[in-house]
Amino acid sequence: MTENSKIKDFRDIKDFIYSEKIISKLEKIPSIYLYYVSTGIEPTDENFKGNLKLLNKELTECGYFFENVEVNVLGGRQLIKFCRELENKFEVQMNIIDIFPLIVDSKADVKKAYAFTCNASEFLKILQKEDGTLRRSLFNDNVRDYLGANGAVNSEIEKTITDTPEMFLLCNNGITIVCSDFEQVRDKLVKIENPQIVNGCQTSNSLFNLKDTLNITKVQLLVRLISTENLSISNKIVRGTNKQNQVLDEAFEATLIFHQETLEPFFLAFDNDVKIYYERRAKQYNNDPLINKTQIVNLRVLTQTFVAIGLLFDF
């Protein structure tokens, strides 16, 4: 059988597992999980489903005994989702001060939800990568990016940290994090999967900017941590927690999956002489000195352009 070196290695591993000296010592027989991955849309026609069932049957009856046989097809949308989750799948040993559960209706499709207080130095474990830089992927689902230190809100946040850090917990609205799952052991958070800071981007960036100051050790903050995999629930939380300050309706529209997984990557895929960037979140590219203002378009500009062209052709 013709095969490349990687397939040969897998075959050698399989033969080793099923050799008499190994298979007899296993507590249970192996399972097989087969993944077919593409960047397109997963086929849903009956012919394709029939082929999957046939492949599953052939693997089940192939002569090797499997505990489980599972054949999965992953399309482009799931591939993007998994890549983003890998970027935000990390473990921290985060000490918390006080924690209490948030009572949620069992029908709300929320696994668990807690509110806790912690020191800012502990929260920085979530914000900071191993190389000391800010984990910017935490804010992908937020309606805004960091608006800069000179704005009224952020200057007030940083003033509180600098002048009266002990008042921060009382003066700040806190942080809201939505994630796939998390583990809590007594007064520690040890694992957070795919977290997104849906409210508190400005607070998070302000804390990060002042992380090396002496007063940061005196700052405490309130954090809400919500575990759900339901996208509509996540979007409701984004909308609900960002209504305190003025946010235009199109900002919430831009949090929908089409804008994250289709429209924004569509603009990034073009490598022309003058590259155009889709600003899905307000001020998203402000911290990149290589991108000019004239290269940035947002949903409002795109809508106005589309309407203008459409009306032109109507005439």
Q: Taking 60 as the threshold, does the pLDDT of residue 25 lie above it?
A: yes
What pLDDT score does 165 carry? Answer: 94
Which pTM value belongs to this model?
A: 0.58
Of the chain, the percentage scoring pLDDT greater than 70 comes to: 90
Query: In sequence order, which residues have a C-beta less than 8 Å from that of residue 241 and are 6 or more positions away?
Result: 176, 198, 199
What pLDDT score does 127 carry? Answer: 92
Q: Taking 70 as the threshold, does the pLDDT of residue 99 lie above it?
A: yes
Q: And the tokens for 297?
A: 């378009």
Convert the pLDDT of each residue in 256-314 to its tens digit. Answer: 778 878 888 888 888 777 888 888 877 788 878 888 888 888 888 888 888 888 766 65
Backbone phi and psi for residue 32, each to the nearest 5 degrees, phi listed first: -125, 130
C-alpha–C-alpha distance, residues 246 and 238, integer Å: 14
For residue 30, name the pLDDT band (cuts at 50, 70, 90).
Answer: confident
Q: Taking 90 as the threshold, does the pLDDT of residue 205 lie above it?
A: yes
Q: Taking 60 as the threshold, does the pLDDT of residue 315 lie above it?
A: no
Convert the pLDDT of each residue in 212-254 to its tens digit. Answer: 998 899 999 999 999 888 777 777 777 766 655 555 556 667 7
Query: In sequence order, which residues have a C-beta less than 8 Å from that of residue 29 and are 6 or more positions away?
Result: 23, 65, 66, 67
Q: Sign of torsion, CA 202 204 207 211?
A: negative
Query: In sequence order, which residues have a C-beta less than 8 Å from that of residue 238 and are 6 or more positions away?
Result: 141, 142, 143, 178, 198, 199, 252, 255
Backbone phi and psi for residue 134, each to the nearest 5 degrees, phi listed first: -75, 140
Q: Taking 90 as the threshold, does the pLDDT of residue 167 lie above it?
A: yes
Mean per-residue pLDDT, 18-24: 84
| Inter-axis angle of helices 201-209 and 120-127, nearest 10 | 100
Helix (H/G/I), strand (E/B), else coil: 6: helix
Q: Which residue has the higher pLDDT, 111 or 254?
A: 111
Q: Taking 80 as the threshold, does the pLDDT of residue 41 lie above it?
A: yes
Q: And the tokens for 165?
A: 């850090």
Secondary structure, 3-state, 222-243: EEEEEECCCHHHHHHHHHHHCC
Q: Taking 70 as the threshold, does the pLDDT of residue 184 lie above it?
A: yes
Mean per-residue pLDDT, 92-99: 86
What rounded mean pLDDT belongs to the chain?
84
Q: And the tokens for 73?
A: 């097809």
C-alpha–C-alpha distance, residues 225 and 23, integer Å: 44
What pLDDT score does 252 carry? Answer: 61
Q: And the tokens for 218?
A: 């005196």
Q: Which residue has the higher pLDDT, 126 or 29?
A: 126
Q: Taking 70 as the threshold, does the pLDDT of residue 130 lie above it?
A: yes
What pLDDT score does 124 carry? Answer: 93
Q: Taking 70 as the threshold, does the pLDDT of residue 88 lie above it?
A: no
What pLDDT score does 175 carry? Answer: 93
C-alpha–C-alpha distance, residues 118 and 93, integer Å: 12
Backbone phi and psi for residue 129, each to the nearest 5 degrees, phi listed first: -75, 175
